[in-house]
């Protein structure tokens, strides 16, 4: 199976919501991507987003550490140093 998700799921979402199948397929792909993001990918993505928003690293690291606790994956508590190593490592 080369699909990142079952086509049956996209058809179900389209049928149950009334969305066009192409839109339902994008929604399913976005949800799958959200739930398969690794801790490292999440940290890198959020760091980049916050830097684009003109935040400084001393503000960013505590925010990312707090956000990790709300994610689906079970992330260990990470120090600022561990977070920096994921981004700059």
- Decide if 65 is inside a domain: yes
Q: How many domains does the chain have?
A: 2
Which residue range(s) make up the domain with 81? 39-88
Q: How confident is the model at residue 1 (pLDDT cuts 50, 70, 90)?
A: very low
Q: Same domain, yes or no, for 52 and 19? A: no
Q: Same domain, yes or no, for 26 and 48? A: no
Using one digit for the tens of pLDDT, what is the confidence trace for 34-83? 888 888 999 999 999 999 999 999 999 999 999 988 876 666 788 999 99
Q: Same domain, yes or no, for 60 and 82? A: yes
- Decide if 2 is inside a domain: no
- CA separation, residue 37 to residues 2, 42, 45 (Å): 18, 6, 10
- Decide if 1 is inside a domain: no
Do 43 and 83 touch, CB atoms closer than 8 A? yes
Contacts of 42 (CB under 8 A, 6+ apart): 67, 68, 71, 73
């Amino acid at each position: 199976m080369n699909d990142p998700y079952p086509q049956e799921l996209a058809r179900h979402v389209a049928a149950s919501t009334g969305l066009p199948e192409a839109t339902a397929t994008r929604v399913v792909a976005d949800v799958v991507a959200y739930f398969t993001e690794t801790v490292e990918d999440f940290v890198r993505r959020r760091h980049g987003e916050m830097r684009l928003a003109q935040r400084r690293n001393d503000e960013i690291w505590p925010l990312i550490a707090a956000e990790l606790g709300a994610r689906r994956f079970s992330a260990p508590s990470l120090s600022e140093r561990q977070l920096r190593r994921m981004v700059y490592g």
